[in-house]
Structure 1
Amino acid sequence: MSAINHRTVPTQTFDWGLIKWFVSPLATPGAKLTFGEVVLLPGEGHTRHNHSAAEEILYVLSGEGRQMVDDKPEFQVGPGDTIYIPTAIYHSTVNTGWEPLRLLALYNPGGAEVDLAALPDFAEVPAGSLPRLQRKA
């Protein structure tokens, strides 16, 4: 059994928010899934995308947003809601509130998170350092 301290995990930053991956096949010996926390800034979100080889589960910790799954009409999400996204299904999440939208995210099997490093706004902040967020004009 391993305990992961959030202070020992790097933070991935994007124009839309932050991610900390606490468990992943690349960083956690024996792990077959990926698990982490996603923070979407107010008015920001993940545009339409899919994960060709992984299903995803999102659990809303706090905040409010709009969720789209399988190009069907968007629906509101808030604290306590769980969203299941089957493998290869297109989806998007947008924060519609004034506060950060905090989600737990799980990929099964793990590994889909490596694609995020190829995004143009990706930057990684080392473990123990505080990420800086910049307000858009």
Structure 2
Amino acid sequence: MTNIDKGTIPTHSFDWGLIKWFVTPDITEGASVTFGEVVLLPGKGHDRHNHPESEEILYVLSGEGVQMLNDDAPFPVKAGDIIHIPTAAFHSTYNHWWEPLRLLAFYNPGGAEKGLTGLPDFKELSPGQIQGYTRT
């Protein structure tokens, strides 16, 4: 058993929001999956992409948004919704609400999170460092 201390984990920051990966194969001994919390800022989202080797499950904790899956028409998502994204399926998630959209994200197998660190807007915040909202 491993007790995860969220306060010791860095936060990944992007123009559209934040991610804190609680469990990954790289940092959690014996883990083969990835699990974390995603926060999409109001009016923001992540563009169409896929994970060629991982399925993804999203659980909406709070807020409202729209989810696109397999290039079909986007559909609304809200707290309590669960979205299964098959391996290699193209998808995107956008927050069209006034408050943050908070999701739990799960990759099976883990490792898809590594691709995010190569994005041009990626920044890693040290554990305990807080990013605020920016008014544009």
Q: CA RMSD in A?
A: 0.8
Aligned residue in 2 for 1:103: 103
Residues 1:43 and 2:60 are matched in the alignment: no
1:103 to 1:94, Cα distance in 2 relative to 1, 3 A: same
CA contact (8 A) 1:59 1:104 kept: yes
* TM-superposed deviation, 1:131: 2.4
Aligned residue in 2 for 1:85: 85
Which runs of 4 or more aligned residues in structure 1 lie more than 2 Å from their structure 2 counterparts after TM superposition? 131-135
Aligned residue in 2 for 1:134: 134
Q: How does 1:1-137 map to 2 (within 5 A)?
A: 1-135=1-135, 137=136
* TM-superposed deviation, 1:68: 0.5
Identity %: 62
Which segments of 5 or more consecutive residues in structure 2 lack a partner in the other structure?
A: none
* TM-superposed deviation, 1:121: 0.3
Q: Deviations over 1:85-110 (max 9, x none)?
A: 00000000000100000000000000
Mapped partners of 1:122, 1:73: distance in 2: 28
Q: Deviations over 1:22-41 (max 9, x none)?
A: 00000101100000000000
Task: Normalising by structure 1, report the TM-score.
Answer: 0.97
Number of residue equivalences: 136
Q: Secondary structure at the match of 1:89?
A: coil
* TM-superposed deviation, 1:134: 2.5
Which segments of 5 or more consecutive residues in structure 1 lack a partner in the other structure?
A: none
* TM-superposed deviation, 1:130: 1.6
Mapped partners of 2:65, 2:2: distance in 1: 33
CA contact (8 A) 1:11 1:131 kept: no
